[in-house]
Amino acid sequence: MTTLLSVKGLKKSFGGVTATDDVDLDVIKGELHAIIGPNGAGKTTLISQLSGAVKPDAGVIMLNGANITHKPAHTRARLGITRSFQITSLVMDMSVLDNVALAVQATDGHSFKFLKPARKIGHIRDKALAMLAEVGLAERAEDPTRNLSHGEHRQMELAIALASEAELMLLDEPMAGLGPEESATMVAYLKSLKGKRTILLIEHDMDAVFALADRISVLVYGKVIATGLPDDIRSNDAVRHAYLGEE
Amino acid sequence: MIGFSRSARINIGVMAILAILPVFFWWTGQTFYLSLATRLVILAIAAVSLNLILGYGGLISFGHAAYIGIGAYAVGIPAHHALYGGMDFIASNNGFFQIALAVVAAAVFALITGAICLRTKGVYFIMITMAFAQMVYYFFVSIEEYGGDDGLVIDTRSEFPLVNLDQPIVLFLVSYVVLVLAMWLVNAIVNSRFGMVLQSAKGNNDRTVTLGYNTYLYRLTAYVISGAMCGLAGALLGNFATFISPEMMDWSRSGELMFMVILGGTATALGPVLGAAVFVVVAQFLSELTIYWHLPFGLMLIAVVLFARGGLSGILRGKGS
Ligand SMILES: Nc1ncnc2c1ncn2[C@@H]1O[C@H](COP(=O)(O)OP(=O)(O)O)[C@@H](O)[C@H]1O
Ligand SMILES: [Mg+2]
């Protein structure tokens, strides 16, 4: 068991709101680690600090033993962290394929290449198409992204996270806004990823979390109040009290 | 022209008209129209360069006329010293030297100011690009040696072997070739890997950064290429007008370049050329009729923005909404 990501003493406040309150967190290589917690607990803020989109006030973030606390977001991506967004974040004006191809392109050396048409670079296109096929979107490849449904956008987010070949995938509520059927597909899909990638999953749907997670951390008011195996979390009194809604 | 898409056929058609008509004017001795066409083509180069960052990069630069000024003074200042002495290290009528100076000076200015401007976003970016352009404006106003705000006459045009820019048709043809090359280059860039990143950053910067792209560097690079290209347009404009003054880089000039790009259709190959054509031709005829010739432009711009999202180029391709 090697630790891929290690967070110590992470703190972040926005004005008077403490969104991240002295968080310690270890993510082990290969695990699917879920983070649960009520709305406003600071889950998205935590992910944003891990991906580099938000700067922490204090604390240390280590990836594979290297301190990345002060590395910019684009560098972290190159070091192997990718994220999906709770609120769909795609380039709506570009085609579905272009969106994914851009993620593949990022793994293919630098992009200060000015003359050769990007859409004619076979290995990038092929790989992007393969990723789309994997999430079931191959037929939509040439469509403008804005024409796709919300559910398809969520699948695209996943295809992009996959295409980036990142070692660590930070997934911020990938099921948000999906119907029961689409959610089930997504769960099955995430299950098939288990063991292949290290995943830090934020999710509201408890059934999904308990079906998928190797370990769970519970975040309440910016604090990690418990970390453990799903069964331990289910029976943890503090968690039941604070989050699962039982007295 | 089987094998070309509809939009490619339109591009070729418009560019052919733009080449043939001025030659016809020259053939029939209508020098006024030839000179109008030359100005049109030169401003189109500037608009094409602006389109790279504004249309494809989403960077609303309100200071692009500064590069025209820098390019024009890069011809005027060496020519001035070649005639009146002083500043021996730049005194020259050599066209290659002047063009290189224009391109390099514009690129350096773009690099320095872009490094600062690109740290800002939205309306701040618009204001700071404008502020830097005004700085150049006042810089040249303050230099009396080069005429201050009265400007400077270029007595000798850039000299090239075999190519004599004193002949209006030659200046036109040279400008036209530069325009075609500029359009080709911008088209290649925006479809390259670099261009994909640039356009993605325009559509969704956070996403693009998350993929691992340092979008700041990509934007800065585009900004420098655009500035250098516009500097070249400025060098041609100096040769065309044979008179340069700070007025060339007034903020309203930058606004006119933005107008051309938006009217013609941002992020399209032909848009900036169409925009420049409409601007130059309509401005010419309206300004003969009335001093309020800016007003119809305002109305035209509003109409295009409201009713034809793809600009004139979108209307031509049948994509106006
Ligand atoms: N950029 C921000 N500015 C101000 N407050 C913020 C910002 N981002 C998050 N917050 C606040 O931080 C707290 C945690 O938010 P968030 O991380 O989005 O929670 P979660 O994802 O768990 O629902 C909330 O109270 C939220 O209002
Ligand atoms: Mg959230």
Parent domain of A106: 87-165
- CATH number for the region B6-316 comes to 1.10.3470
Residues A125 and A69 in one domain: no
Q: For residue range A41-96, list pLDDT tens digits in order.
A: 999 999 999 999 999 999 999 999 999 999 999 999 999 999 999 999 999 999 99
Q: For residue range A124-137, list pLDDT tens digits in order.
A: 999 999 999 988 89
Residues A144 and A239 in one domain: no
**Distance between CA B11 and CA A245 in Å, rounded?**
65
Q: Is B204 left (phi over 0), alpha (psi -120 to 50) or beta?
A: beta
Minimum mean pLDDT range among B65-74, B159-168, B311-320: B311-320
* CATH code, domain with A203: 3.40.50.300
User: Model pTM?
Assistant: 0.93
**Distance between CA B4 and CA A36 in Å, rounded?**
55
Residue A10 β-bridge partners? A23
- Residue B309 confidence (pLDDT): 75
Residues A155 and A171 in one domain: no
Interface predicted TM-score (ipTM) of this complex, two decimals: 0.91
End-to-end CA distance of chain B: 27
- Domain ranges, ordered by start, for chain B: 6-316
**Distance between CA B173 and CA B34 in Å, rounded?**
11
- Residue A243 confidence (pLDDT): 66
Residue that is last in its domain, among A111, A135, A165? A165
**Interacting residues of B72 by C-beta distance below 8 A, sequence separation 6+:** B102, B234, B235, B237, B238, B241, B244, B248
The response to whether residue A44 sits with its C-beta less than 6 Å from ligand 1 reads: yes
Residues A70 and A91 in one domain: no
**Closest CA in chain B for residue A116:** B192
Residues A214 and A200 in one domain: yes
- Residue A247 confidence (pLDDT): 43
Contact between A112 and B191 using a beta-carbon 8 Å cutoff:
no
Residues A170 and A243 in one domain: yes
Residue that is last in its domain, among A104, A136, A165? A165
Closest CA to B240 of B290, B178, B184: B178
Residues A35 and A62 in one domain: yes
**Distance between CA A34 and CA A43 in Å, rounded?**
11
Q: How many domains are contained in chain A? A: 2
Q: For residue range A142-168, list pLDDT tens digits in order.
A: 999 999 999 999 999 999 999 988 999
- Residue A18 confidence (pLDDT): 94
- Going by alpha carbons, the residue nearest to atom 27 of ligand 1 is A40
Residues A190 and A144 in one domain: no
- Residue B3 confidence (pLDDT): 72
A53, A111, A160 ranked by CB distance to B206: nearest = A53
B196, B218, B221 ranked by CB distance to A105: nearest = B196
Residues A114 and A222 in one domain: no
The response to whether residue A162 sits with its C-beta less than 6 Å from ligand 1 reads: no
Closest-CA distance, A24 to chain B, in angstroms, reads 23
Confidence at B47, pLDDT banded by 50, 70, 90: very high
- Residue A197 confidence (pLDDT): 93
Q: What are phi and psi of A205, to 5 degrees?
A: -70, 105
Q: For residue range A172-205, list pLDDT tens digits in order.
A: 999 988 888 889 989 999 999 998 999 999 998 8
- Residue B136 confidence (pLDDT): 95
**Distance between CA B31 and CA B167 in Å, rounded?**
11
**Ligand 2 center to A213 CA (angstroms):** 18
Q: Which two tokens stand for residue B68?
A: 């025209």
Task: Give chain B's mean pLDDT.
Answer: 93
Long-range CB contacts (within 8 A, 24+) of A120-123: A121/B193
C-alpha distances in angstroms, B248 versus A203, A216, B46, B152?
A: 58, 65, 12, 12
Chain B residues touching A94 at Cβ < 8 A: 199-200, 203
Residues A203 and A152 in one domain: no
Residues A221 and A159 in one domain: no
Check CB contact of B242 with chain A, cutoff 8 Å.
Answer: no
Residue that is last in its domain, among A165, A186, A210? A165
Contact between A102 and B210 using a beta-carbon 8 Å cutoff:
no
- Closest-lying ligand 1 atom to the alpha carbon of residue A20: 14
